[in-house]
């Protein structure tokens, strides 16, 4: 199954599939292991035994957990509160590494109760940061941000390096989860700086911080920087005996190596992780390593080895009772069996995983799983099954888009509110500073009248520099706002408009009331052209992701060059693009589609000395469509029909476009069929199709829709 996880679903446990984002468990574990704030002056218990157990957990987590639980039972609830706090903080991290998530969360709750009973603000803040990570695990990013902002207010005057380090990591994790990578990095860098100031376990803290930065680079599709960060951190492991930290770094290193297509080095890294995890008693990390090993074998098409590793990962997940890991293990087993041509057995495992994700409401995981199943069927030339999966995935993708949009709006609103509160606090602080300065100036004027002129000059200089600073700050704020406005409507890679901007445009688009007709609208309707790059996965696999990104940027440039200034070109998602052409004469639409296909396919794209031949498959339609009122066939339904036409082009040979020109029967009879099955509508003679072929070699003859119509319709049905 696809290894990447969406930014909106950050797991607090280490997932059985490796994550592009930093898993919440790894974050919370790393922070709790490093966290040891100074004790109150009046309470100085003997911590030597706890520190010895903590050091042991770096090598043998199982033994360390048993010893710490025995020690906690021995000291009892009547022990010194400061000693109990240290025991709980250490216990939380060790429990997470042992895969005992619920017990770790319960220990954090016990810590919060202890902190409140002691009325210790910094200890309360520490436990509340733990609660924020629990909210992050549940996908409640806005609530996690609220919790962290509350903690920030409590720690505003704190000098506690450990608390501030964890707070910065928390903000960095939230920004990473919602995809604000540029905002996440400064928080992680600040956490790395603070790691040098903590009193104990400083080297381990620095290595975990550097791993967080490496995983951020992974999320930003920059494996080179991720590898550089992990290698730099691994140099520090020679100074301490901490296999647990080494294993975590090697896991991240393996992810970067896989993205760089250095598969042999990646499998070596994963095997090192597995060995360390087994020796140290960390079943969750061992399960992750086995799952990654299975992914490696699937990548290199060694399906028997992939099945063996996936089954081992499944057993590990069952031991720690991780239902998410169990489902992912079954999915990997299914794909490995399918690779061995055992489709009947494989699909049983895959359906079990699919059932779990659907029952738990993990729609993003279901959508990712459906994508992999569709690719599996397509690779096996099982186009009928692939079409069914594509339709199911399309329906789920629409639901995810609506829910993701609502969640993103809520998160952004909370971010805005938090920023407004922060600005108000800063404004009050500045006002207090100005009032203090005025009082001091009055005192100085009364005491030293002779220096009044000099003081006046000095005040003028200060005001001048303050003015320069305020002006510079305003300029920076204006630039940041412009960047935010640009990224809200633009795709960061290609610079094209994004899906959100198109949806907002359609919301404000004027739609004629039912029954009303205007000749200019009917004669020059709007047009939608949905396009997909052919064989884009082969480009990524053959030339690397950097080359794939270069191809996407060049395709975007050619599309902008081909269309009118009034047309809107956007990146619909992945390798999909969309052209929205308002007021287009239907007779000219085929010419526009022909220019688009030729503009992309006639000339190869040169990337680092290589020539990559890219072509498009497209589906197009007018809006309003064939005189149908938009209340009956709005832009979403029209785009769905264009998508079916695009898929028709994919199945029929690619490098072509099919357009649904007009209805041949009343729309009341045609739409119920056309909404869900274009092939059935074609077979029943309900619609008229337009066909445009992309550029081909002189010796080749394009296959027309009429030549393949009968076979294609029967196959799709």
Minimum mean pLDDT range among 86-95, 103-112, 311-320, 413-422: 413-422
**pLDDT at position 570 over 90:** yes
CB-based contact 73:85 (threshold 8 Å): no
Q: Which whole number is the average pLDDT over 601-615?
A: 93
Contacts of 517 (CB under 8 A, 6+ apart): 627
CA proximity to 218, closest of 571, 545, 494, 539: 545
pLDDT of res. 552: 96
What CATH architecture is 301-429?
A: Alpha Horseshoe (1.25)
Q: Which whole number is the average pLDDT over 362-381?
A: 76
Q: Where are the domains of the chain?
A: 7-296, 301-429, 499-716
Minimum mean pLDDT range among 279-288, 657-666, 675-684: 279-288
Minimum mean pLDDT range among 274-278, 327-331, 491-495, 705-709: 705-709
CATH class of 499-716: alpha beta
The tokens of 572 are what? Answer: 């619909």
pLDDT of res. 278: 87
CB-based contact 654:623 (threshold 8 Å): no
pLDDT of res. 459: 78
pLDDT of res. 13: 28
Question: Cα torsion at 609, 610, 611, 616 (round to 10°)?
Answer: -120
Q: Which whole number is the average pLDDT over 596-601?
A: 96
Q: Measured between alpha carbons, how far is 102 from 497 in angstroms, rounded to an integer? A: 44
pLDDT tens readout for residues 407-446:
544 555 555 555 555 555 666 667 667 776 777 777 777 7
- Looking up tokens 């009325």 gives 119
704 compared with 76, residue with greater pLDDT: 76
Interhelix angle for 323-339 vs 343-359, to 10°? Answer: 160
Mean residue pLDDT of the chain comes to 79
Percent of the chain with pLDDT over 70: 80
Is beta strand 687-693 parallel, antiparallel or unpaired with respect to 526-533? unpaired
The tokens of 559 are what? Answer: 């599309």
Q: Measured between alpha carbons, how far is 660 from 688 in angstroms, rounded to an integer? A: 6
Minimum mean pLDDT range among 43-47, 156-160, 214-218: 43-47
Q: Measured between alpha carbons, how far is 288 from 332 in angstroms, rounded to an integer? A: 12
Number of separate helices (H) and strands (E) present in the chain: 29, 8
Largest separation between any pair of C-alpha atoms in the chain: 103
Indicate left, alpha or beta for 609 from its phi (over 0: left) and psi (-120 to 50: alpha).
left
Is 605 exposed, middle or buried, given 0-12, 13-18 or 19+ CB atoms closer than 10 A? buried
**pLDDT at position 78 over 50:** yes
pLDDT of res. 617: 97
pLDDT of res. 325: 82
- Size (the chain), residues: 717
Q: Measured between alpha carbons, how far is 694 from 598 in angstroms, rounded to an integer? A: 6
CA distances from 116 to 127, 352, 411, 595 (A): 10, 45, 29, 69
The tokens of 672 are what? Answer: 């119920």
pLDDT of res. 308: 92
Q: Which whole number is the average pLDDT over 366-386?
A: 79
CATH domain 7-296 topology: 1.25.40
**pLDDT at position 16 over 90:** no
pLDDT tens readout for residues 454-469:
778 787 777 777 767 7
pLDDT of res. 285: 85
CA proximity to 530, closest of 657, 351, 651, 377: 657
Torsion 494-498-499-503 (CA) sign = negative
Q: Which whole number is the average pLDDT over 272-296?
A: 88
The tokens of 498 are what? Answer: 């994004």
Topology alike, domains 7-296 and 301-429: yes
Helix (H, G, I), strand (E, B) or coil at 658: strand
Q: Which whole number is the average pLDDT over 40-56?
A: 70
pLDDT of res. 593: 95
């Amino acid at each position: 199954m696809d290894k990447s996880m969406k930014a909106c679903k950050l797991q607090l446990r280490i997932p059985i599939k490796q994550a592009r984002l930093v898993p919440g468990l790894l974050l919370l574990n790393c922070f709790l292991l490093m966290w040891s704030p100074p004790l109150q002056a009046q309470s100085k218990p003997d911590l030597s035994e706890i520190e010895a157990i903590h050091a042991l957990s770096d090598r043998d987590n199982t033994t360390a957990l048993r010893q710490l639980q025995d020690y906690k039972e021995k000291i009892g609830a009547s022990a010194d509160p400061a000693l109990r706090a240290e025991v709980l903080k250490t216990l939380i991290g060790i429990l997470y590494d042992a895969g005992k998530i619920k017990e770790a969360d319960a220990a954090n709750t016990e810590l919060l109760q202890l902190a409140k009973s002691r009325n210790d603000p910094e200890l309360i803040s520490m436990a509340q940061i733990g609660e924020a990570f629990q909210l992050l695990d549940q996908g409640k990013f806005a609530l996690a941000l609220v919790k962290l902002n509350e903690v920030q207010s409590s720690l505003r005057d704190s000098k506690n390096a450990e608390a501030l380090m964890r707070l910065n990591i928390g903000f960095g994790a939230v920004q990473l989860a919602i995809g604000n990578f540029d905002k996440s990095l400064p928080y992680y860098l600040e956490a790395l700086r603070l790691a040098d100031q903590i009193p104990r376990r400083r080297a381990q803290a620095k290595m975990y911080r550097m791993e967080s930065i490496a995983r951020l680079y992974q999320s930003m599709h920059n494996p080179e920087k991720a590898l550089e960060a992990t290698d730099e951190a691994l140099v520090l492991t020679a100074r301490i005996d901490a296999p647990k930290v080494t294993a975590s770094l090697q896991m991240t290193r393996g992810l970067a190596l896989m993205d760089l297509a250095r598969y042999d080095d990646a499998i070596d890294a994963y095997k090192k992780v597995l060995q360390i995890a087994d020796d140290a008693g960390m079943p969750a990390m061992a399960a992750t390593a086995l799952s990654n090993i299975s992914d490696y074998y699937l990548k290199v098409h060694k399906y028997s080895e992939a099945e063996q590793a996936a089954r081992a990962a499944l057993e590990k997940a069952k031991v720690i009772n991780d239902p998410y890991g169990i489902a992912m293990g079954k999915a990997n087993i299914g794909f490995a069996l399918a690779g061995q041509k055992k489709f009947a057995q494989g699909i049983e495992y895959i359906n079990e995983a699919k059932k779990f994700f659907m029952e738990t409401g993990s729609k993003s995981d279901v959508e990712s799983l459906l994508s992999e199943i569709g690719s599996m069927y397509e690779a096996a030339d099982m186009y009928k099954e692939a079409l069914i999966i594509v339709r199911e995935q399309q329906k789920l993708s629409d639901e995810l888009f609506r829910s993701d949009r609502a969640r993103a709006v809520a998160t952004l609103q909370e971010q805005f509110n938090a920023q407004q509160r922060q600005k108000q606090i800063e404004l009050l602080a500045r006002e207090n500073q100005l009032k203090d300065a005025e009082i001091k100036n009055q005192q100085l004027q009364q005491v030293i009248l002779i220096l009044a002129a000099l003081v006046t000059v000095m005040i003028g200089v200060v005001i001048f520099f303050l003015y320069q600073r305020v002006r510079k700050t305003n300029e920076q704020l204006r630039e940041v706002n412009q960047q935010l406005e640009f990224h809200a409507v633009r795709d960061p890679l290609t610079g094209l408009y994004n899906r959100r901007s198109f949806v907002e445009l359609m919301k404000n688009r004027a739609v004629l009331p039912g029954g009303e007709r205007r000749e200019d609208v009917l004669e020059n309707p709007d047009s939608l052209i949905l396009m997909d790059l052919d064989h884009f996965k082969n480009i990524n696999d053959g030339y690397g992701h950097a080359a794939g990104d270069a191809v996407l940027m060049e395709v975007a440039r050619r599309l902008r060059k081909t269309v009118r200034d009034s047309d809107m070109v956007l990146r619909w998602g992945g390798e999909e693009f969309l052209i929205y052409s308002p007021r287009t004469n239907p007779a000219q639409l085929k010419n526009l589609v022909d220019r688009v296909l030729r503009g992309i396919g006639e000339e190869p794209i040169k990337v680092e000395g290589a020539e990559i031949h890219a072509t498009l498959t497209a589906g197009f339609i007018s809006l309003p469509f064939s005189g149908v009122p938009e209340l009956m066939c709005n832009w979403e339904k029209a785009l769905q029909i264009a998508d079916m036409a695009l898929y028709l082009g994919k199945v029929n040979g690619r490098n072509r476009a099919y357009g649904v020109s007009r209805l041949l029967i009343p729309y009341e009879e045609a739409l119920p069929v056309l909404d869900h099955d274009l092939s059935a509508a074609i077979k029943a003679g309900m619609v008229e199709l337009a066909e445009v072929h992309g550029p081909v070699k002189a010796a080749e003859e394009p296959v027309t829709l009429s030549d393949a119509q009968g076979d294609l319709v029967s196959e799709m049905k």
